[in-house]
Structure 1
C-alpha cells in the first residue's frame, strides 16, 4: 500500500492517559494486590479508534486535548509510535491530561475504570481546512463544540460522518442530524425512548447498528433489525474493544462509501473481526503486534 492508497480519516474526541493493571482478582477494601502485568498508553474512544485505523493502514488524524503537563509526553510518544497525527487543541494547557486508572480481572477479562473526561478543559478552535481530502470523520461526543463544528464542516464537504455512541450525552440530539452512521452500544438509551433505531432514523441517521459485546450486532435495514454474529474468541481483556470496533468501521466505511445494505453489513463484519481479535490480549495495543 502506497501513501496515496491510504484512506484519510479524522477523529475528534477524548484522549486520556490509560494506566492498566492486570490482577488475579479485584482487591477488597483496604487490600493491596500485586499486578500480574501492566501497560500505559493513550486511550479514550476517539483515540483508540484513531490508533486502530492507523494500525489497519489508514492515515489517521486526531483532534483532542492533551496539554503540556509532563504526563502528556507519554501520550505524545504513544500516538507518534502508533502513526497517529495529533492536533492538540489544548497545547498551552499546563494541567495534567485526563487519566484513566483501569484494573482488569485476569479471570474474566472484565475491568473496573476510574477516569476523568476532560470536560473542564478550554480548547482552541481547530482549523477545519484539515478536513479537506478526508474520506470519513468520526466523533465520540466528548468536547461537544468541537464535535459539532467538525461534523458540520464534514457534512458541507460531503464527507461521511460517524458517531461512537457508547452512552447518551446531552449533546447527542444536536449531532444526530449531522450523522450518516451511528453504531451505539446496548447501554445507549435516549431518555424516554424504547425503540433506539427508530429514534435515530427519525433524526436523519440512515446507517444504524447496535453492538452487544459477544452477542450479534443488530443492523438496521431501514425497516427492521437483523443480527450479525461476531467472531468468538477467548477473552483476556475487553477494554477498548468498542473503540477498536469504531476505528475499524470508520476505515471500512471510508473504503466502501457510499454505502448499501450489503456494504454496510460487510463493514460491520470487518470491524467486528478486528474488535474480537483485540479482546484476546491484555491492553489496547498488544493485539496490534500479533500476526
Structure 2
C-alpha cells in the first residue's frame, strides 16, 4: 500500500567525483567518473522512500537561484515533490563537493550545510502534515522541524530522526520522536559512549533507538530490550549517502511495525546502494524488495 512521507532537512547540490586517490597539497587530480545530483540526508532519504512507490514530499527553503533547477530536475525525475517555503530566496543553495576513492569507497565531503538557508518556523502551518503517514527529520532545520514534530505528535504521526551528528536544538525535538536512528558519530552533550547515548535517548522516552556502525552490526534498544542486527558484507564501491538511503528505506519498512526487521531490510538496501557509484545508480539496478 502506498504511504505518504514528509522529509525535512538539508537539500544541496552534490558534485561527486570518483578518483584513484585524494589530491595532495597543490595537486590536481583527474576524476575517473562524476555525478551531479540533489543531496543532503533528508533529500536522499526522500528519494529512497519514493523508490518504493510512496508519495514523498521534501520540505525546504530552496529559492529561485539558477542552480536550483538542477536540484529540481533530479528530484522530479525521482518523483519527489518539493514544498518550497522560501521561493523568493535568490542566494545559491548549499553545494557539496565530494571525492570518493575508487579502491575503498571512502569519501570526503565539504559543504556549508543549511546554516545559511534556515526556514522560519512562522512559515510552518498545521496543514503541512495533512494526509502524511510518517515524518523524517535530519536536524538541519531545527526551528521548522520542531513545529512539524509538534503537529505530527498531536496527530499520532510517527516521527523518525536521522541522527547523523548532534545539532544544537535536537534536545527540543527528541521528546516527540518515535524512532531515533543515529550514527556512531551522534553524541549528545555529556555523552561519551554509545551506552550513554542510549541512556540519554531512553530518558526522553523514545521507544525505539538504533545506532548504525557502517559495516558493523546495528545496535538497538527497543521497548527496553537491547540487541544487534547484522548488516550484509559487501565490497563497497561508494559509501556516500548510505546512511541517508538507510533512513529512507527504514521509513518504508517500519509501517509493518517490526523495528528489527525494518532495520535489517533498510541495511540490505543501504548495502546494495554502496555497490554503485553515487547516490542514484542503485535506483536503476535490479534489487529484491524485502
Into which bin does the TM-score normalised by the smaller protein fall? Answer: over 0.9
Matches within 5 A, 1:1-291: 5-123=1-119, 125-193=123-191, 194=193, 195-253=196-254, 255-256=255-256, 259=257, 263-291=258-286
> Alignment partner of 2:115: what SS?
coil
Separation of aligned partners in 2, 1:122 and 1:167: 18
Separation of aligned partners in 1, 2:95 and 2:56: 22
Normalising by structure 2, we get a TM-score of: 0.94
Separation of aligned partners in 2, 1:149 and 1:221: 26
Contact 2:161 2:179 (C-alpha < 8 Å) held by counterparts = yes
Separation of aligned partners in 2, 1:267 and 1:122: 31
1:106 to 1:8, Cα distance in 2 relative to 1, 3 A: same
Separation of aligned partners in 2, 1:163 and 1:99: 23
Runs of 5+ consecutive residues of structure 2 not aligned to the other structure:
none
Separation of aligned partners in 1, 2:105 and 2:271: 13
C-alpha deviations, 1:201-248, integer Å up to 9, x for none?
Answer: 101110100100010011113444311101111100000000000000
Separation of aligned partners in 2, 1:290 and 1:236: 14
> Alignment partner of 1:101: what SS?
strand
Separation of aligned partners in 2, 1:173 and 1:15: 22
Q: How many residues align?
A: 281
Contact 1:22 1:106 (C-alpha < 8 Å) held by counterparts = yes
Contact 2:93 2:117 (C-alpha < 8 Å) held by counterparts = no
Separation of aligned partners in 2, 1:224 and 1:207: 9
C-alpha deviations, 1:130-168, integer Å up to 9, x for none?
Answer: 312211101001111111011110001110001000001
Separation of aligned partners in 2, 1:61 and 1:96: 21
Contact 1:100 1:116 (C-alpha < 8 Å) held by counterparts = yes
Normalising by structure 1, we get a TM-score of: 0.94
> Alignment partner of 1:268: what SS?
helix
